[in-house]
Structure formats: structure tokens, C-alpha cells
Amino acid sequence: MNHPYRQNNANSGTVISIRGSVVDARFENQIPSLIHILKTGEEGKIIIEVITHLDSKTIRGIALTSTKSLALGSRIIDTGHPIMVPVGKTVLVMEMIHNIVGHHEWASIFCGIGERCREGEELYREMKTAGVLNNTVMVFGHINEPPGARFQVGHTVLTMAEYFRDDARQDVLLLIDNIFRFIQAGMKISGLMGQLLSRFGYQPMLGTELSELEERICNTASGAITSVQAVYVSADDFTDPAAVHTYGNLSSSIVLSRKKEGICGMGLACSAL
């Protein structure tokens, strides 16, 4: 695949001004759109985002990387798109559904707890495009719904998973995104009920509520439920009660580091193998 910086037919311009992280460039043919990403410097390693149009041919951008090696007159390429992040949990979810469910005839259930409506709709379209939707049940408790609905959606999908395991006698892949929103919903319900909150404002029955959900994920003679869960760790603090209780119920974990480009500090964990 050709790198955008090496494409001869790419929309290109010339760097005409450099003031620290502020870079101006002139495009004779077509001016890049606002928020488009431009690449310049050696091998296109200097990344610039278009902030404003100074005139019909000149843009002003902010460098997202160091401009130390950038020189006046350097060629600059319009990638034709804004910042894009292809890696993360959605890609992992689709890959797992495709490779596990598609090849081994498992039932797949996706549970979105506290998802935004837009995120749910985007995930639906991405999974449809990837060709994994026919093997998947999707259940959402959106972030704008009452905490009772967001809390119960977790138990709802477990009931569905138990049906596929016990009645349909199928192995089940259960994906939950994310389990921290289940805890948050329980915390809000606890506050509405007038219960005395515990450490960091969590509900006093945090451990019990989480265990009642997680312990339903198990194997029987008729089939197995394997759960992969996204875990948001509040303030990256693994000593937070929500993180401690969550990881205490899981058999293994993978931490996605913020240090890697495009990864947003999420954790994935398998509950039943």
C-alpha cells in the first residue's frame, strides 16, 4: 500500500512560514479543508492539522509533532481526512466475533452499558460492514437512559447468554462495554435509595452487585459462556474500588496503554475460559 506522503498524485503544497508549532502552507491547486491532516518533513513524519484558511490558497495549521527539522519550501501533503484512529476496542470486538463466532459457530452477544446513542449506531454499522452482524445479538443501555435501565441491561444479556448455553446448547461469546458503567449505574441507584455511600462514593454493596453479575458467567455440561469485558479504570488508578472488585472477578486481563497512539486506557478481560 502506498504511503500518502509518497503518492505523486496527492494534493500537495509548499511550507511558506514556520513559527514554532504554527505552520503556514500554500496550495496552488486545491486548498485542504479545515481539520484535515497534513504531512511534511522527512518521510512525512511531521503532522499538521489545518486550523484556518488565510486566503483561497493558504492555510494555517498547528503541528501535532515537533517541527524541529522542518524547513521553508518543504513539500506538504494533504491526506484528505481528519485525525483517524483505526486501532482500539471496537476493532478487537469485531475481530473476536469474526474469528471465534464465525469459525466455531458460537453465539455472540454484545452488551453496551452506558454507550452514547451515536457510538451504538456507529458500532452497528461497522459490524454490519465487517459481516459479523448476522451472528450477533446487540443490547444497549444508553447513557441517557435511567440508571435502572443501565443496571439491568447487564443481567438481561446474561439471561440471553444462559438461554443460548442451556436451551440452544451453544457456546457463547459475551462482550461487555463497559463494566464500569454497570458499577456507575448501581452507584446512582444506591444514592437514589438513600443508602450511605462507601469509599470514593461507591455503593455499599459494590462487591456483591458485581459478583452477582460476574458469577453467572460460567460453564455447564451443555455449553460455555466466555466473556470479554472493557474495563474503564477511573483516573488510571488500579487501587480504585471499582477496579479492584472488577479485576477480582476476572481470570486475566490486557491493559491498553495510553502511551500508544490511538489507545484510550481501556482494559480487556476474560471471565470464563
The boundaries of the domain holding residue 187 are 89-270
Residues 168 and 195 in one domain: yes
Residues 154 and 42 in one domain: no
Q: CATH code at 72?
A: 2.40.10.170
Residues in CB range of 205: below 8 A, 6 or more apart: 186, 190
Q: Are 12 and 27 in contact (CB under 8 A)?
A: yes
Q: Look at residues 183, 1, 212, 173 and name the one whose alpha carbon lies nearest to residue 92.
A: 173
Residues 67 and 97 in one domain: no
For cell 444479556, what's the residue?
A: 157
Residues 168 and 33 in one domain: no
| Global confidence as pTM | 0.62
Could you read off the pLDDT of 66-80 as tens digits, one per residue? 998 899 999 999 999
Could you read off the pLDDT of 196-211 as tens digits, one per residue? 888 788 999 999 999 9
pLDDT above 50 (res 265): no
83 falls within a domain? no
Q: Look at residues 84, 101, 85 and name the one whose alpha carbon lies nearest to residue 93.
A: 101
Catalytic (active-site) positions: 89, 115-116
Residues 255 and 228 in one domain: yes
